[in-house]
Copies of this chain bind each other. A is one copy, B any other.
Protein backbone atom coordinates (compact mmCIF):
# COMPACT_ATOMS: atom_id res chain seq x y z
CA UNK A 1 0.00 0.00 0.00
CA UNK A 2 1.13 3.51 -0.66
CA UNK A 3 0.92 6.27 1.89
CA UNK A 4 -0.97 9.20 0.36
CA UNK A 5 -2.52 12.47 1.43
CA UNK A 6 -5.95 13.55 0.17
CA UNK A 7 -5.47 16.91 -1.58
CA UNK A 8 -8.74 17.33 -3.44
CA UNK A 9 -11.57 15.77 -5.41
CA UNK A 10 -12.45 15.23 -9.06
CA UNK A 11 -15.91 15.34 -10.58
CA UNK A 12 -17.04 13.75 -13.83
CA UNK A 13 -20.48 13.78 -15.43
CA UNK A 14 -19.49 11.56 -18.34
CA UNK A 15 -18.30 8.26 -16.86
CA UNK A 16 -18.60 4.50 -16.99
CA UNK A 17 -21.88 3.03 -15.82
CA UNK A 18 -21.64 2.01 -12.18
CA UNK A 19 -19.35 4.84 -11.12
CA UNK A 20 -22.21 7.10 -10.06
CA UNK A 21 -21.96 7.75 -6.36
CA UNK A 22 -18.27 6.91 -6.17
CA UNK A 23 -16.12 9.70 -4.73
CA UNK A 24 -12.98 10.42 -6.74
CA UNK A 25 -10.29 11.60 -4.33
CA UNK A 26 -7.18 13.32 -5.66
CA UNK A 27 -4.25 12.01 -3.62
CA UNK A 28 -0.57 12.86 -3.37
CA UNK A 29 1.89 10.04 -2.55
CA UNK A 30 3.95 10.96 0.52
CA UNK A 31 6.86 9.59 2.53
CA UNK A 32 6.23 8.10 6.00
CA UNK A 33 6.96 11.54 7.48
CA UNK A 34 4.17 13.04 5.38
CA UNK A 35 6.39 14.89 2.91
CA UNK A 36 5.17 14.75 -0.71
CA UNK A 37 7.26 12.55 -3.01
CA UNK A 38 8.15 13.33 -6.61
CA UNK A 39 5.39 10.99 -7.80
CA UNK A 40 2.46 12.68 -9.55
CA UNK A 41 -0.87 12.92 -7.74
CA UNK A 42 -3.48 10.39 -8.85
CA UNK A 43 -7.12 9.55 -8.16
CA UNK A 44 -8.60 6.86 -5.90
CA UNK A 45 -12.10 5.91 -4.85
CA UNK A 46 -12.82 6.24 -1.16
CA UNK A 47 -13.93 3.28 0.90
CA UNK A 48 -13.48 4.73 4.36
CA UNK A 49 -14.85 8.25 4.48
CA UNK A 50 -11.52 10.03 4.10
CA UNK A 51 -11.42 13.81 3.95
CA UNK A 52 -9.14 16.47 2.59
CA UNK A 53 -5.81 16.52 4.41
CA UNK A 54 -6.12 12.95 5.71
CA UNK A 55 -3.16 10.62 5.50
CA UNK A 56 -4.41 7.35 4.00
CA UNK A 57 -3.34 3.94 2.76
CA UNK A 58 -4.11 3.37 -0.91
CA UNK A 59 -4.27 0.02 -2.70
CA UNK A 60 -3.70 -0.31 -6.44
CA UNK A 61 -4.82 -2.89 -8.97
CA UNK A 62 -7.43 -5.56 -8.40
CA UNK A 63 -7.34 -4.92 -4.62
CA UNK A 64 -9.28 -1.71 -5.31
CA UNK A 65 -12.28 -3.76 -6.36
CA UNK A 66 -12.42 -5.67 -3.11
CA UNK A 67 -13.41 -2.63 -1.08
CA UNK A 68 -16.97 -1.97 0.01
CA UNK A 69 -19.14 -0.94 -2.91
CA UNK A 70 -16.51 -1.29 -5.63
CA UNK A 71 -16.97 -4.91 -6.68
CA UNK A 72 -17.28 -5.11 -10.44
CA UNK A 73 -16.39 -1.46 -11.01
CA UNK A 74 -13.64 -0.33 -13.40
CA UNK A 75 -11.38 1.19 -10.74
CA UNK A 76 -7.73 0.50 -9.97
CA UNK A 77 -7.06 2.53 -6.82
CA UNK A 78 -8.90 2.84 -3.50
CA UNK A 79 -8.35 4.30 -0.06
CA UNK A 80 -8.62 1.51 2.50
CA UNK A 81 -7.59 3.22 5.75
CA UNK A 82 -7.11 6.62 7.35
CA UNK A 83 -3.76 6.54 9.11
CA UNK A 84 -3.78 7.57 12.78
CA UNK A 85 -0.08 7.27 13.35
CA UNK A 86 3.13 6.10 11.73
CA UNK A 87 5.80 4.95 14.20
CA UNK A 88 9.32 4.86 12.82
Contact = CB atoms under 8 A, between A and B. Distances in A.
A10 B57 contact: yes
Contacts of A2: 40, 42-43
A16 to B, nearest CB: 5
A81 B3 contact: no
17 contacts: A1-B24, A1-B77, A2-B43, A3-B10, A7-B32, A10-B85, A10-B86, A11-B83, A11-B87, A14-B48, A16-B48, A16-B81, A31-B40, A39-B40, A59-B76, A62-B62, A63-B74
Interface of A: 1-3, 7-17, 19, 24, 26, 29, 31-32, 37, 39-44, 47-50, 57, 59-68, 72-78, 80-88
